[in-house]
Amino acid sequence: MSLLHWIILIPFLAAIFVPLLGRVFPRVHTGWFVLFVPLALVVVSWISYSSLIADGESMLHTVPWVPMLDINFSVYLDGLSFLFLLLITGIGTLVVLYSIYYLDKKKERLQHFYVYLLMFIGAMLGVVLSDNLIVLYAFWELTSLASTLLIGFWFIRKKSMFGAQKSMLITVFGGFAMLVGFMLLYMMTGTFSIREIIGGADGIMDHALFLPAMILVLLGAFTKSVQFPFHIWLPDAMEAPTPVSAYLHSATMVKAGIYLVARMMPIFGGSAEWFWIILITGLFTLFWGAISAIRQKDLKAILAFSTISQLGLIMSLLGVGSAALYTQDPELEIMYAGAIVTAMFHLINHSTFKGSLFMVAGIIDHETGTRNLYKLGGLMTIMPVTFTVSAVGLAAMAGIPPFNGFISKEMFFGNMIEVTELPFFGMGEWAIIIPMIAWLASVFTFIYCAFMFYKTFMGKYDRANYWVDVHEASPGLLVSPVLLGGLVIILGLFPNILTNVLIHPSVTSILTGISVELDPYSLTLWHGLEIELFMSIGVVAVGVLAFLYHNKWTEWEIYSKDRDVVNLFYDQGIDKLQDSSQWITRLQMTGRLRDYFVYMLVFIVALLAVTMWRSGSFQELPEGMASTMDTPLYMYGVMFILVGSAAVLPFIKSRITFIISIGVLGLMVALFFTIFSAPDLALTQLLVETVLLIVLMLAFRHLPEMTTETKSRSYKTVNVLIAASAGALVTMISISAYALRLDLDFTAISDYFIENAVPLGGGYNIVNVTLVDFRGFDTVLEALVLGIVALAVIMLVKHRFKGGEDI
């Protein structure tokens, strides 16, 4: 276990103690203890790894977990992981601090909240540090689970549960697709280790499974990173407490998809499909998110759609950057690697300004009791600090100098113009549309930022709109957003402070395989009089113009439709899913034992018959099977009683005779076992018969009188056919088992047990040695089933519906 392993495990270990804290220290807010976890992690990881990462080093530690299946708990740290590690722990610290003042100690279930949050921190660290794809997948699903639990934190609200379910269904769907993609990668390369896959990635581009694997992995990334059309879960996830929205749904979890795409870049990057799928999805998401955000009237909803839009921006940049892996031309390599630099820089920027904006939205909600744009207004003088932080954050998002968002936006424009000059991947004259979409989306971004700013802080303060006395938030609540806002300004004025430690190492690790000189990418506020600057000026000019006339377009009908149209597919899908599953359940759960038997037998017979048919089992029996020569006479007697007691069963009219007849059948079977010298089986059969008899006699009084069947003839015929085919199948299996024994090509597996029972198991009873030594797992799980059956009997007997309507 290395330090990196402990970094992943510590949040989980800490989560164990959280429930105790509330009892031991009832007067202290649990958040104060939890705060130490991310704080310690960020400090430790910065001290231990920052200089190593800046030198361009990476490290890999492996702890075997299931080595037989190539699943190992291996952790890998390079520039990309380190960037995310700091993001998760750093923002995590601020969010925990913020949550201490946001969540009331007396009213909220703090222990639940912090357990989920720590679980999320651990899982997210696991995602970004794992080198093994299966381990990564496990942590990936754990982040989905933690996110769902946190969205449903206020589970009494119907909307919370709806949002939680929606996010779970969509992200887990993507997770499954991703798992299949990982399996395909394993089939192509024979390893689950990302490092090893990258090492042997040269040949897989021509593999038939390359494209399916890529699409499946991208499905996982797109659902998590809210790319169109999977973005619809994020607006509903805003029902979560605001610290969660700021942390999971803007700064970290939704960026897991970005991380995955960046991580998979050396494997899939350089193919045209990867380039186009990511670029087009990203650009469309950017555009769609921006125009949807304008129509929102809720502060958090605006921020949700703007997160969708910004993640689309980062995604499209990764698409452009993948071109650097295809071209052999060093000049083009440098040009397109620039897009990755922009992506990583904007990733950091987005976390700072969006995190602060979410926290500010939470403060406004907390202090005024509403997030509705049309109720808020004139808060500038009442909440000066909140106002300042919002102004900085919104300006950065809109792309106004001197904040960090401006720099990354200008670089983004530059990359989108450069992509049109791509000499391969079928790029043509029409490509001019790409920078146009980017520009247009930025105009919309500017408009919603201005709109949010104006509606919240300018205008008239109307006392009647608020339930409570509006005043500035407490200092504790303001610390985190102010710190993040400060980062926005610092990164805007001195954008190069992070390049050596975070941005360049992460770009190098994304573009494994090619060596790009990264020194030309020094980030500056002033780019010179380039076309990007004119585009920015255009954004501001058109944006201001559109904003000034907002009274006109807010009257349009489309403005009132703030629910995303893509939701229709989800709603319809959920309805249909519920209807069809209810239909299947009703079809199957009739409450009649006979129907259940019909279902079970039909499936068993059909499955086995198909298998036997396909494997060519219906062949002639070998000679010498049916010799009756050496059968002793008493066997005929035993067989006569056996067959007779079975044959009379359908004609018996009273239950007690029925039970006796079945008992005779069972005893005859036991006799058979004795004759063929299987004492264990005979004993078991006898005992089971005895206990069954007792149970049957006990249940006897509950059973109604046997009535004459009134079912139709065809129904009966079908049942007879099913019963007969089940019987025929069992007979055939026993005959074929006997026939195979005659066939010399097969060696019986029993030989192994006979030979090894004494030397390996230390017992002379082969049946028992097989049960406890060789097949211990089967036995112990059967015991588990037996326990569950006993519990089920208690449930069925004690807690059944007595009278009244059954379901």
Partner 1 sequence: MKYSRSHDVMQQVLLITTSYFVLAFSLYFLFAGHNNPGGGFIGGLTTACALAFIYLVFDRVKANEYIRFTFPGLISIGLVLSLGTGAIGFFTNDAYLTQYFDYFDIPFFGEIELTTALPFDLGIYFVVVGAAMVIMLNIAGDEEEEDED
Helices (H), strands (E): how many in the chain? 32, 2
Helix axes 158-189, 133-151, angle to 10 degrees: 180
Cβ-Cβ contacts under 8 Å for 680 (sequence gap 6 or more): 765, 767, 768
Query: Rounded to the nearest whole angstrom, what is the least distance from the CB of residue 10 to partner 1 in the complex?
Result: 23
Which residue, 713 or 800, has its beta carbon nearer to partner 1? 800
At closest approach, how far in Å is the CB of 758 from partner 1?
A: 9
User: In this structure, what are the phi and psi dihedrals at residue 677, rounded to the nearest 5 degrees?
Assistant: 45, 60
Q: Which stretch binds partner 1 (CB under 8 A): 494-502, 684-692, 710-718, 747-755?
A: 684-692
Number of other residues whose CB lies within 10 A of the CB of residue 489 = 16
| SS3 sequence of 315-338 | HHHHHHHHHHHCCCCHHHHHHHHH
Question: Among 93-101, 110-118, 435-443, 761-769, which window interacts with partner 1 (CB under 8 A)?
Answer: 761-769
Tokens coding 284: 């469309």
Segment contacting partner 1 by CB under 8 A, of 386-394, 487-495, 591-599, 759-767: 759-767
Distances (CA, A) of 244 to 120, 153, 303, 706: 10, 10, 13, 62
63 touching partner 1, by CB under 8 A: no
Number of neighbours of residue 462 by Cβ within 10 angstroms: 11
Among 545, 565, 584, 694, binds partner 1 (CB under 8 A): 694
For the chain, helix, strand, coil in percent to 5 are 75, 0, 25
Rounded least distance, CB 697 to partner 1, Å: 8
- CB 761 to partner 1: min, Å: 7
Helix (H) or strand (E) holding 685: helix 679-700
Q: Residue 418, interface with partner 1 (CB under 8 A)?
A: no
What is residue 572's three-state secondary structure? helix
Instruction: Indicate the residue among 626 and 703 with the shorter CB distance to partner 1.
Output: 703
- Applying CB under 8 A, does 649 fall inside the site for partner 1? no
Would you call 153 exposed, middle or buried from its count of C-beta atoms within 10 A (0-12, 13-18, 19+)? Answer: buried
Cα-Cα-Cα-Cα dihedral sign, residues 681, 682, 687, 692: positive
Using CB under 8 A as the binding rule, whether residue 190 contacts partner 1 is answered as no
Identify the bridge partners of residue 132 per DSSP, sorted by sequence position. Answer: 193
Decide: is 541 part of the binding site for partner 1 (CB under 8 A). Answer: no
Contact string (CB under 8 A) for partner 1, positions 769-798, x = contact: x-xxx--xx-xx--xx-xx-xxx-xx--xx
Q: How far is the CB of 790 from partner 1 (least distance, A)?
A: 4
Shortest gap between Cβ of 431 and partner 1 (angstroms)? 59
Kindly tell me which residue out of 87, 695, 737, 801 binds partner 1, with binding defined by CB under 8 A: 695
Task: Check if the beta carbon of residue 445 is closer than 8 Å to that of residue 309.
Answer: yes
For the record, the structure tokens of 60 come out as: 């890999």
The sign of the CA dihedral 428, 205, 515, 85 is: positive
Beta-sheet pairing, 71-77 with 59-66: antiparallel
SS3 77: strand
57 lies in the binding site for partner 1 (CB under 8 A): no
Q: Verify binding: residue 702, partner 1, rule CB under 8 A.
A: yes
Q: How far is the CB of 802 from partner 1 (least distance, A)?
A: 10
The stretch near partner 1 (CB under 8 A) out of 203-211, 525-533, 696-704, 736-744 is 696-704
Task: Rank residues 151 and 769 by Cβ distance to partner 1 and give the closer one.
Answer: 769
- Residue 16 CB, shortest distance to partner 1, in Å, is 21
Q: Which stretch binds partner 1 (CB under 8 A): 125-133, 320-328, 477-485, 763-771?
A: 763-771
DSSP 3-state of 608: helix
Rounded Cα distance between 185 and 189, Å, is 6
End-to-end C-alpha distance for the chain, whole angstroms: 52
User: What does the H/E/C string look like for 341-383?
Assistant: HHHHHHHHHHHHHHHHHHHHHHHHHHHHCCCECCCCCCCCCCC
How far is 541 from 710, CA to CA, in rounded Å?
A: 84
Both tokens of 530, joined, read 């380039």
In the complex, least distance from residue 764 CB atom to partner 1, rounded to whole angstroms: 4
At position 167, the amino acid (one-letter code) is S
Residue 130 DSSP one-character state? B
Query: With respect to partner 1, which residue has the nearer C-beta, 48 or 684?
Result: 684
For residue 762, state whether it binds partner 1 (rule: CB under 8 A). yes
Give the x/- contact pattern for partner 1 in 662-681, rule: CB under 8 A: -----------------xx-
Is residue 1 involved in binding partner 1 (CB under 8 A)? no
687 belongs to the binding site for partner 1 (CB under 8 A): yes
Residue 764 in contact with partner 1, rule: CB under 8 A:
yes
Q: Indicate whether 71 belongs to the interface with partner 1 (CB under 8 A).
A: no
| For partner 1, the closer CB: 688 or 724 | 688
Instruction: Evaluate whether 75 touches 60 at the Cβ level (below 8 Å).
Output: yes
Q: Which stretch binds partner 1 (CB under 8 A): 15-23, 354-362, 682-690, 728-736?
A: 682-690
CB of 19 to partner 1, least distance (A): 23
CA-atom Rg of the chain in angstroms:
34
**548 near 450, Cβ under 8 Å?**
no
Does 706 help bind partner 1 (rule: CB under 8 A)?
Answer: no
Give strand pairing partners of 60. 76
Nearer to partner 1, 276 or 673 (CB): 673
Using CB under 8 A as the binding rule, whether residue 592 contacts partner 1 is answered as no
Closer Cβ to partner 1, 575 or 680, answer by number: 680
Under rule CB under 8 A, which residues in 136-155 are in contact with partner 1? none
- Asked if 359 contacts 392 with a C-beta cutoff of 8 angstroms, the reply is no
- In this chain, which of 62, 500, 661, 684 binds partner 1, going by CB under 8 A? 684
Query: Contact letters (x/-) for partner 1, 307-346, by CB under 8 A?
Result: ----------------------------------------
- Nearer to partner 1 by C-beta: 430 or 801? 801
Cβ distance to partner 1 smaller for residue 667 or 772: 772
Residue nearer to partner 1 on the CB measure, 467 or 777: 777
Is 698 among the residues that bind partner 1 (CB under 8 A)?
Answer: yes
Sole binder of partner 1 in the list 66, 683, 721, 754 (CB under 8 A): 683
In DSSP terms, 61 is beta-bridged to 75
Closest distance between partner 1 and the C-beta of residue 707, in Å? 21
Phi, psi of 270 (to 5 degrees): 100, -10
Is 765 a binding residue for partner 1 by CB under 8 A? The answer is: yes
Q: Which residue has the tokens 């349009």?
A: 556
Tokens for 455, please give them.
């509606």
Nearer to partner 1, 72 or 322 (CB): 72
Burial of 241 (0-12, 13-18, 19+ CB in 10 A): buried
Least Å distance, CB 63 to partner 1, is: 15
Q: How far is the CB of 785 from partner 1 (least distance, A)?
A: 9
Contact between 688 and partner 1 by CB under 8 A: the answer reads yes
CB of 670 to partner 1, least distance (A): 13
Q: Applying CB under 8 A, what is the total number of residues that bind partner 1?
A: 41
Hey, how many other C-beta atoms are within 10 angstroms of the C-beta on 234?
Answer: 27
The answer to whether 754 contacts partner 1 (rule: CB under 8 A) is: no
Contact 378, 459 (CB under 8 A): yes
The Cα-based distances of 76 to 9, 202, 261, 363, 446 in angstroms read 15, 21, 16, 38, 39
Question: Which positions from 572 through 591 interact with partner 1, judged by CB under 8 A?
Answer: none
Residues in touch with partner 1 (CB under 8 A): 679-680, 683-684, 687-688, 690-691, 694-695, 697-699, 701-702, 761-765, 767-769, 771-773, 776-777, 779-780, 783-784, 786-787, 789-791, 793-794, 797-798
